[in-house]
Amino acid sequence: MAFPTSSKYVIIGAGVHGLSTAYHLAAALKAEGKGSGADIIIVDKGGIASGASGIACGVVRNNYYQPAMRELMAHSVNVWESDMEAYSYHPVGYMQISCESMHEDIADIYGQQKAIGYESTLVEGKSDCHDYMKDIYHDWQAENITSVLHEKRGGYANNTKAMYGLAGKAEAEGVRIITGVQVTGFSRANGASSAIRAVHTNKGDIECDYVVIGAGPWVRDFWNMLDLPKTVSIKGKDGILHDGIDMWTYWQLEEGVLNVDPSLFKTNDGSQPPVMHVDTDATLKSVMDGSVIEDEGNIWGLYYKPDFHFGGIQGGAMPYPVTTPAEELDIDPYGPASPEWISSPEFAHMWVSALAHCHKRFEGQMGAYHKEPSGGVGCFTPDSFPVFDEFCENAYILADSNHGYKMIGVGKLVAQHILGQTSELLKPFRYSRYAEGELHPTSNSPFPWS
């Protein structure tokens, strides 16, 4: 089939945001009699799920201190649950297990989950938390835990399987996915309009009416192609406008796999466990020699789950910032030549020791750690929360700030926006929130995305 020279809608990126937007837009066009999937093409420089979505941990949770994030995730969980087979989705639930410094935040999250009808259980106090966890895991031994938030919905999806399922749904609606196409720039309208009239690629130009950019960690490059500001002004709580803040920063996300039978990690009744996330300030000792990795009082965290797709126990820990300035960072965050997605020996030591801190069954398992393409470099906004907004009159940018994979429902909302039905769920993520001072609240979590 010949390379297209025009398409009403051009979507850049065949990951979760691009695929979800294409599928839901095609379905909406058909339902409203305004067109079909044949009006949409997706272009990607690699292939389906060849970027961040293809190596994502796949965790789906509602555990956010920020009300707007909770509401948006509740919507996304509905989308995950709408076709669990196609999305390779496992609704095992999610647990946030925390120390006292996070207790108040967790109680607040529980109250607001209850207010929006999102089912969860809150357990408080060291003794009650210990008993609750021992009822689920006979070998539970984590220390300094004073709150447990057990979300009954949520869970995880298998990364590439879910994306191919989503791609199949889009293609069934007539959407064309073209891989091996690298976008190199845009043509703009003449005169007062800033609208995009064509997308330049290494295969040729594509004239279009509307562009959607779902490029994950490469969003900075498209932002620059559109000549959007490299810095942002943010109005603080004091009402003062703080200028010159970098629009983009990068964090190294470290994840790995304990290469053991996933069935090693089950609940006391033999069921698949919920996704686990533990934040504690207890002393963390090495599983190898008993040396201290983290002193008492220093908060640290990890997340983990059994995953047959990864072939073991998969998870990660706190990320760390990439010190190279964003404008000077010239890497392919998920490319085969980039070492950035290979976790460090320090991470492996910490993460396996943390698993053993939580469960006796993981003691003596350091030798089973397996380097797996997972994690990568995440591109973050100034406040570490997404920017979902329209620019240049007809370009919608999904800058997910590394929250992306779990937010499968955002594409549905973007499709509605394109057709003139902007959702209240997207408004808290507009770019103008920085200058207006309408920022998301921050929590005590050691993770920048919480």
CATH of the domain at 196: 3.50.50.60
Q: What is the mean pLDDT of residues 158-170?
A: 97
Please indicate, yes or no, if residue 244 is contained in any of the structural domains.
Answer: no
- Indicate if 163 and 218 belong to the same structural domain: yes
Structure tokens belonging to residue 250: 């990068």
- Indicate if 214 and 343 belong to the same structural domain: no
Please indicate, yes or no, if residue 236 is contained in any of the structural domains.
Answer: no
Model confidence at 341, pLDDT cuts 50, 70, 90, reads: very low
What pLDDT is attached to residue 346? 87
- Indicate if 321 and 412 belong to the same structural domain: no
- Indicate if 327 and 427 belong to the same structural domain: no
- Indicate if 116 and 161 belong to the same structural domain: no
What pLDDT is attached to residue 336? 36
Taking the C-alpha atoms of residue 3 and residue 162, their distance in angstroms, rounded to an integer, is 27
Phi-psi region at 437: left, alpha or beta (left = phi > 0; alpha = psi -120 to 50): left
What pLDDT is attached to residue 378? 86
Q: What is the mean pLDDT of residues 250-270?
A: 92
What pLDDT is attached to residue 313? 96
What pLDDT is attached to residue 340? 43
CATH of the domain at 294: 3.30.9.10
Of 304, 298, 288, 292, the closest CA to residue 349 belongs to 288
- Of 357, 380, 403, the position where a domain reaches its end is 380
Token pair 């207890």 is found at 282
What pLDDT is attached to residue 375? 64
What pLDDT is attached to residue 450? 64
What pLDDT is attached to residue 47? 96
What pLDDT is attached to residue 330? 57
Q: What's the mean per-residue pLDDT of the chain?
A: 92
Q: Does the pLDDT value for residue 138 go beyond 90? A: yes
Which residue did the predictor score with more confidence, 427 or 446? 427
Taking the C-alpha atoms of residue 348 and residue 282, their distance in angstroms, rounded to an integer, is 19
Please indicate, yes or no, if residue 368 is contained in any of the structural domains.
Answer: yes
* % of residues, the chain, pLDDT over 70: 93
Model confidence at 136, pLDDT cuts 50, 70, 90, reads: very high
**Residue length, the chain?**
450
- Indicate if 26 and 136 belong to the same structural domain: no
Taking the C-alpha atoms of residue 208 and residue 201, their distance in angstroms, rounded to an integer, is 13
Q: How many domains does the chain have?
A: 2
- Indicate if 280 and 356 belong to the same structural domain: yes
Q: Does the pLDDT value for residue 334 go beyond 50? A: no
Q: What angle do CA 341, 345, 349 make, to 5 degrees?
A: 120
What pLDDT is attached to residue 56? 87
Q: Does the pLDDT value for residue 257 go beyond 60? A: yes
Computed over its alpha carbons, how large is the radius of gyration of the chain?
Answer: 22
* % of residues, the chain, pLDDT over 90: 81
Query: In whole angstroms, how far apart are CA 225 and each of 103, 139, 283?
Result: 44, 53, 47
Please indicate, yes or no, if residue 347 is contained in any of the structural domains.
Answer: yes
Q: Which domain holds residue 134?
A: 94-152+249-380
> What does the DSSP 8-state code read for residue 349?
H
- Of 358, 380, 402, the position where a domain reaches its end is 380
Model confidence at 413, pLDDT cuts 50, 70, 90, reads: very high
- Indicate if 340 and 260 belong to the same structural domain: yes
Model confidence at 344, pLDDT cuts 50, 70, 90, reads: low
Which residue did the predictor score with more confidence, 300 or 190? 300
Q: What is the mean pLDDT of residues 94-120?
A: 96
Q: How many CB atoms lie within 10 A of CB 38?
A: 15
Q: What is the mean pLDDT of residues 334-350?
A: 59
Taking the C-alpha atoms of residue 94 and residue 163, their distance in angstroms, rounded to an integer, is 21
- Indicate if 25 and 84 belong to the same structural domain: yes
Please indicate, yes or no, if residue 238 is contained in any of the structural domains.
Answer: no
What pLDDT is attached to residue 120? 97
Model confidence at 323, pLDDT cuts 50, 70, 90, reads: low
Please indicate, yes or no, if residue 240 is contained in any of the structural domains.
Answer: no
- Indicate if 255 and 354 belong to the same structural domain: yes
Give residue-wise pLDDT tens across range 369-407.
986 656 678 899 999 999 999 999 999 999 999 888 999
- Indicate if 25 and 127 belong to the same structural domain: no
What pLDDT is attached to residue 328? 57
Q: What is the mean pLDDT of residues 169-198?
A: 94
- Of 347, 380, 413, the position where a domain reaches its end is 380
- pTM greater than 0.75 (yes/no): yes
- Indicate if 37 and 122 belong to the same structural domain: no
Which residue did the predictor score with more confidence, 192 or 21? 21
Please indicate, yes or no, if residue 243 is contained in any of the structural domains.
Answer: no
Q: What is the mean pLDDT of residues 106-111?
A: 96
Please indicate, yes or no, if residue 242 is contained in any of the structural domains.
Answer: no
What pLDDT is attached to residue 374? 62
What pLDDT is attached to residue 123? 98
